[in-house]
Chain A
Amino acid sequence: MIGTGIKRGTAELAILSVLENGPLHGYELARRIERQTRGALRFTLASLYPLLYRMEKQGWVRGAWETSGSRRRRRCYRLTPQGKKKLSPIREEWAELFRALRLLTKVSNA
């Protein structure tokens, strides 16, 4: 299980990466991240929305209400051009960190 501090740091990257594939509403976004990380990253309502709102304020994502086939209104988040621009340097930073950790700890596939 990954520790809380690292999880917090990876949260933005996780959200931006998943939204890169298309808009999602909050619950689906959380489920997608949990599935794709095989449960290593898990967002609850309490951890997800403050972060989404902060990212929205920073202009990285944009939320808009949409009505689904079952006539349910859901707020869907999509990546903004600014968010797309932000994703690339964040990815590089993390890749660099993983490379450094790999060199330091000799852990493979870090």
Chain B
Amino acid sequence: MPDWQELVRRELACLALEPHERAEVIEELAAHLDDAFEDLRQRGLTEDDAVQRSLREVKDWRDLRRNIQNARRKENIMSNRVTQLWLPGFLTFTLAMGFLALVQHFGPRPIFFTASGTLRMRPPATIYIPWLLSLPLVGALGAFLSHRAGGSRRAVLASIAFPVVPYLVFFLLLLPFALTFEKHARRDIILPLFLIGLIGWVLLPGAALLAGGLPVQLFLSRRPRSSCVATH
């Protein structure tokens, strides 16, 4: 029979609760596994089978740890959502927009390339390379903050991609609106403009944000348990 206490302690090493509270949780969950094991043995299962069945009580220890933290911490669900999603999301958004404003103001003037050589109208998207290069850092910060607050994978991803969400919504609303209400608009012009805008304001910045955020998320989620990040 495994040492259930040791197993639970190892799996929940990063449980961000007060030490006495964590010890109580570990003892309680270990007792549950112990009861499950004994029960299965009494029902005639072999020791190995009983251990395997008992371990199936928890599919994902990381999820369990997060759920327990969320349940036992003093804040309510709303404030968890604030720390895990809205706060990192707004921070990444503010930083991304701040960097963009700085690049636009102090950075080199954009050079416009056209097929004909002459620019007849303002382009729908200007790709600021220095800004794109700054976005992986912003994405990484969003991932770190959301992960540190105990955010789920979905919350971490949303925090990383938060700066491009308003643009995505804008483009998703703009196209149907333009096609529906602008009677004189030429579809052969609108669609390419929409695509260029989508690439310049959503896809490229989104990829840059993810390029910084995903490795951080991957690194933090695979980090050895001994090096926990406090989530108080």
Within 8 A of B (CB), among A24-58: 25-28, 31, 44-46, 48-51, 53-54, 57
Known: A44-B58, A45-B58, A46-B64. A25 touches B31 (CB 8 A): yes
CB distance from A16 to the nearest CB of B (A): 16
Whole-angstrom CA separation of A57 from B68 in the bound complex: 12
- Is B225 engaged at the interface, CB distance under 8 Å to the other chain? no
- Is A72 engaged at the interface, CB distance under 8 Å to the other chain? yes
Known: A44-B57, A54-B71. A49 touches B29 (CB 8 A): yes
CB distance from A45 to the nearest CB of B (A): 4
Contact indicator A31/B72 (Cβ below 8 Å)? no
CB distance from A59 to the nearest CB of B (A): 13
Which residues on A sit within 8 Å (CB–CB) of B34?
A: 72
Interface centre among B31, B33, B34, B39 (most CB of A within 10 A): B31
Q: How many A-B residue pairs have CB under 8 A?
A: 60
Whole-angstrom CA separation of A48 from B35 in the bound complex: 14
Interface centre among B36, B57, B63 (most CB of A within 10 A): B57
- Is A75 engaged at the interface, CB distance under 8 Å to the other chain? yes
Which residues on B sit within 8 Å (CB–CB) of A45?
A: 29, 32-33, 36, 57-58, 64
**Interface size in chain B (residues, C-beta < 8 A):** 24
Contact indicator A57/B72 (Cβ below 8 Å)? yes
Contact indicator A53/B72 (Cβ below 8 Å)? yes
Interface SS of chain A: helix, strand, loop or mixed?
A: helix
Within 8 A of A (CB), among B50-76: 56-60, 63-64, 67-68, 70-72
- Other-chain residue from B28, B56, B63, B70 in contact with A75 (beta carbon distance below 8 A): B28
Residue interface bits B19-42, CB-to-A below 8 A is 1, else 0? 000001101110111111001000
Contact indicator A31/B39 (Cβ below 8 Å)? yes
Within 8 A of A (CB), among B70-128: 70-72
- Is A84 engaged at the interface, CB distance under 8 Å to the other chain? no
Whole-angstrom CA separation of A26 from B67 in the bound complex: 16
**Interface size in chain A (residues, C-beta < 8 A):** 19
CB distance from A7 to the nearest CB of B (A): 15
Which residues on A sit within 8 Å (CB–CB) of B28?
A: 26, 49, 74-75
Which residues on A sit within 8 Å (CB–CB) of B33?
A: 45
- Is A8 engaged at the interface, CB distance under 8 Å to the other chain? no
CB distance from B37 to the nearest CB of A (A): 10
- Is A73 engaged at the interface, CB distance under 8 Å to the other chain? yes
CB distance from B128 to the nearest CB of A (A): 45
Known: A27-B36, A44-B57. A50 touches B68 (CB 8 A): yes
Which residues on B sit within 8 Å (CB–CB) of A54?
A: 71
Whole-angstrom CA separation of A26 from B68 in the bound complex: 14
CB distance from A39 to the nearest CB of B (A): 15
- Other-chain residue from A31, A46, A73, A74 in contact with B57 (beta carbon distance below 8 A): A46
For the complex of A and B, list the 10 residue pairs with the smallest distance between their C-beta atoms, beginning with the closest: A50-B67, A27-B35, A45-B57, A53-B71, A54-B71, A50-B71, A44-B57, A46-B58, A46-B64, A75-B28
A binding-site residues for B, Cβ under 8 Å: 25-28, 31, 44-46, 48-51, 53-54, 57, 72-75
